[in-house]
Amino acid sequence: MTTNNLNENLSNNQIKIATYYKFLQLDNLEELKELLLNTAKEMHIKGTILIGNEGVNSTICANDKDLEKYLHFLQNISPIGKLDNIKYSFADFWPFEKMKVKIKKEIVSIGFQNKENGYDVETGEYLDAKDWNELLDNPEAIVIDTRNGYEYRMGTFKNAINPKIKAFRDFPEYVEKNIKDKEKPIAIFCTGGIRCEKASTMMKQKGYKHVYQLHGGILKYFEETNEETTKWEGRCFVFDDRIAVDQDLNSAGVPEDRVIYAKGFNNNPLNKNRKTEKP
């Protein structure tokens, strides 16, 4: 799918989903929580927003008009400000039951806050879909899926390494034990890009010289590729009631997924207190 086709998808699917994150200093979190939650309810938004002193991490959904209205509020009225690289996908049902805003120490958990290291920390080099595909063709590149094992099983890039981690917090230990060569090109990816921000920061701090990350994650890659150019195999796991999306960014979960992937789904902070149903 290309970005130009996004509105065509919306004509066949009533609900539009936006995924985004941003690292920035946020203060007065309780007040911000109430502002984000109350405004979302007024605008008929559902989903989850995680906020902390280091920033925001969120997936929200609504009809197209309400969603764009809320994104305008976030970027022009709230303290969050401009959001780069928002990823969109679609569903013909509401993938979230209600709206939640949660305060977290980390907006994605790896064991340190970007705030503690400064917001201009050195990350990996961003690659768009075209450059990413070229790197995947490099036989010297080490391609690592930073996601959890149950996400990997649903779909990944060909020849990507499965770290077999149960939680993202386990990724630094995996790297330390298994990736000894710090000179080789290392390509990392995740669903929407946020895990790679912290993973690449950690790897650069540990001395890995050539770290590359898929900009905007798998979801952005799906926007920028089609059947002829994609190197993705399978579906992409998402942490809401869709369970998965296909490469056209449409809902692709099946009833059996709710049993197979229930443990990972229920343990994710975005879905706390929302249990999967048996088919």
Query: Based on the number of CB atoms within 10 Å of its own CB, is 249 exposed (0-12), middle (13-18) or buried (19 or more)?
Result: buried
The token duo for 170 is: 């386990």
Contacts of 255 (CB under 8 A, 6+ apart): 279
- Please, how many CA atoms are within 13 Å of residue 272, restricted to the half-sphere of its CB? 8
CA distance 91 to 143: 30
The token duo for 147 is: 């996601």
CB–CB of 184/139 below 8 Å? no
Angle separating helix axes 64-76 and 29-42, nearest 10 degrees: 150
The token duo for 265 is: 């789904």
Phi, psi of 22 (to 5 degrees): -160, 130
Contacts of 187 (CB under 8 A, 6+ apart): 127, 132, 135, 136, 141, 142, 143, 144, 212, 213, 214
Residues annotated as catalytic are: 190
